[in-house]
Amino acid sequence: MTHSLKLGLQASVILFASVLTTACNHADDTGLEYAPQMYESIPYEPLRQVNTNTINPMGINERVPVVGTIARGKLNYYSHVPKDSVVIAERTLKNPYAYTKENLEEGKVLYTRICSHCHGEQGDGQGPVGIKFKGVPNYSTGNYKTMNDAHIYHVIQWGRNRMMPHGSIVNPQERWKIAMYVRVLQRGEGPDGLSKLVQTKQDSTQLTDRATQKPVLNAQADKGSETPGQGDKARNGTAE
């Protein structure tokens, strides 16, 4: 190999090294990509995109689902009850889970993690946040004591008054179990009421969902009269 050829090769190596050094002198520089076709897929991939898609709407590879589409296993997320219609919810939604010790214990854990900071461990509204901002209800007083599972479930999902929606935090199964534990706190005995509620017979009114009861002095929209147009002279009932 001649001396001039050696010098030429050395100069080429030095030049190539200087180009690489210059091209990669920034920490956020990705450098040169050799054969990009090996890294960037030519077919459209829904979860990765480099260039604008000129075929699909909005220029993205992913397509918007058909209107009304529900993902597999997510049907229970859609109750079709408007967020401001808690009365409809408490009359139409049904709790699919039994009042077992396991379900109530899980509801207690979920309540403690997600709800107790406002509503308190006793359900009296005296959680750390509830004490500071006031106005958090006591489950064992007034109308709060008679809220059924569906009412509580709907409020958990959509929120009410100053309470923000929690539907994105707990799934439908967890909402029902939290609602069941709130029914424990409605007894005014705090967490100690759990074991007593489990021991209650299934036909007790304490375990009966108001949505399944017959109208007693109160009109219910989903209950038809046995004698249409006649009513009951003794007591026609009062609308809620």
Distances (CA, A) of 126 to 25, 98, 118, 132, 163: 59, 29, 7, 9, 15
The answer to whether residue 155 is domain-embedded is yes
The answer to whether residue 80 is domain-embedded is no
Q: Copy the structure tokens of residue 225.
A: 């009269």
pLDDT value of position 206? 42
pLDDT value of position 173? 93
Assign residue 196 the CATH number of its domain.
1.10.760.10
pTM for this prediction = 0.60
The per-residue pLDDT of the chain, averaged, comes to: 77
Q: Locate all alpha helices (DSSP H) within the chain, ordered by sequence.
A: 3-23, 86-92, 101-114, 116-119, 128-133, 149-158, 172-185, 193-199
Which tens digits make up the pLDDT trace of 16-27?
666 555 555 667
The answer to whether residue 106 is domain-embedded is yes
How many C-beta atoms lie closer than 10 Å to residue 180's C-beta?
26
pLDDT value of position 209? 45
d(CA 10, CA 16) in angstroms, rounded, equals 10
Lowest mean pLDDT among 10-19, 120-129, 131-140, 156-165: 10-19
- At residue 135, what are phi and psi to the nearest 5 degrees? 80, 5
pLDDT value of position 123? 93
pLDDT value of position 3? 65
d(CA 59, CA 49) in angstroms, rounded, equals 10
The residue type of 3 is H
**236 falls in which pLDDT band (50, 70, 90)?**
very low
Q: 142: which residues sit within 8 A by CB, 6+ positions away?
A: none
pLDDT value of position 149? 94
The answer to whether residue 209 is domain-embedded is no
The answer to whether residue 123 is domain-embedded is yes
Share of the chain above pLDDT 90, in %: 33
Mean pLDDT of 88-113: 92
The answer to whether residue 72 is domain-embedded is no
pLDDT value of position 24? 56
Count of the separate structural domains present in the chain: 1
pLDDT value of position 217? 36
∠ CA(223), CA(225), CA(230), 5° rounding? 155
pLDDT value of position 20? 59
Which tens digits make up the pLDDT trace of 183-205?
999 988 888 888 877 776 343 44
pLDDT value of position 15? 66
231 Rama sector, left if φ>0, alpha if ψ -120 to 50, beta otherwise: left
Q: Copy the structure tokens of residue 5.
A: 């050829």
The answer to whether residue 120 is domain-embedded is yes
The answer to whether residue 138 is domain-embedded is yes
Q: Which residue has the higher pLDDT, 48 or 153?
A: 153
Range of the domain at 176: 85-204
pLDDT value of position 215? 40
Q: Which residue has the tokens 């046995």?
A: 226
Q: 154: which residues sit within 8 A by CB, 6+ positions away?
A: 79, 81, 86, 89, 90, 93
Mark 82-104 as b/e (b = at least 16 C-beta within 10 Å): eeeebebbbbbbebebebeeebb
d(CA 29, CA 78) in angstroms, rounded, equals 46
Note whether 178 and 122 are within 8 A (CB).
no
Predicted confidence (pLDDT) at residue 141 exceeds the cutoff of 50: yes
Predicted confidence (pLDDT) at residue 142 exceeds the cutoff of 60: yes
Predicted confidence (pLDDT) at residue 227 exceeds the cutoff of 60: no
Mean pLDDT of 201-211: 43
Q: Which residue has the higher pLDDT, 207 or 155?
A: 155
